[in-house]
Amino acid sequence: MIYKIFFSGSFVFFTLLFTAGCVQPESINSSTAGNSNPEIKSMFADPLFVKVGATAQIKVEAEDPDLDPLSYEWTTAIGDIIGSGSEVRYSAAYCCAGINIITVTVADNKGAKTSKSIEVEIVF
């Protein structure tokens, strides 16, 4: 819903724009009519503290209420994701120590999806 109010005069021009309903949640959850989002039951990293150049196992447990097949998309800003599916390996980058966020998006074959993130700390 958008409202515009204009006031004009020789020195005054005022515009008010009000938009409602445009805020999106932090995590992605989308479904289509009659199709439920997949549910992420758990996500873990082993270990949570990864030495530069080392790897960690990242695993997600998810299910679909409609019993649809699931696919997994993994992303990270620093380092590499090795593998695919519900269990991958994370390789810590040599450049950067600190907290890194690894995100998985789980989707069914009808377009419904949900995401979850985990923090892994890269240490020297």
Sign of CA dihedral 6, 24, 74, 111: negative
Q: Is residue 92 part of a domain?
A: yes
Domain that holds residue 112: 28-123
Q: Is residue 89 part of a domain?
A: yes
Q: What is the pLDDT of residue 68?
A: 98
Helix then strand then coil, % of the chain, to nearest 5: 0, 60, 40
Q: Is residue 82 part of a domain?
A: yes
Q: What is the pLDDT of residue 34?
A: 86
d(CA 120, CA 25): 23
Q: Is residue 81 part of a domain?
A: yes
Query: In this structure, what token pair is assigned to residue 73?
Result: 């998309």
Work out the average pLDDT over 45-65.
97
Q: Is residue 91 part of a domain?
A: yes
Q: Is residue 68 part of a domain?
A: yes
Work out the average pLDDT over 65-80.
97
Q: pLDDT band at residue 102, thresholds of 50, 70 and 90?
A: very high
Q: Is residue 3 part of a domain?
A: no
Tally of domains in the chain: 1
Give percent of the chain above pLDDT 70: 74
Q: What is the pLDDT of residue 87?
A: 99
Torsion of CA 104, 110, 112, 113, to 10 degrees: 0
The CATH number of residue 71's host domain is 2.60.40.10
Task: Using DSSP bridges, classify how beta strands 80-82 and 49-51 pair: parallel, antiparallel or unpaired.
Answer: unpaired
Residue matched to tokens 């892994």: 120
Q: Is residue 20 part of a domain?
A: no
Is 4 a residue whose pLDDT tops 60?
no
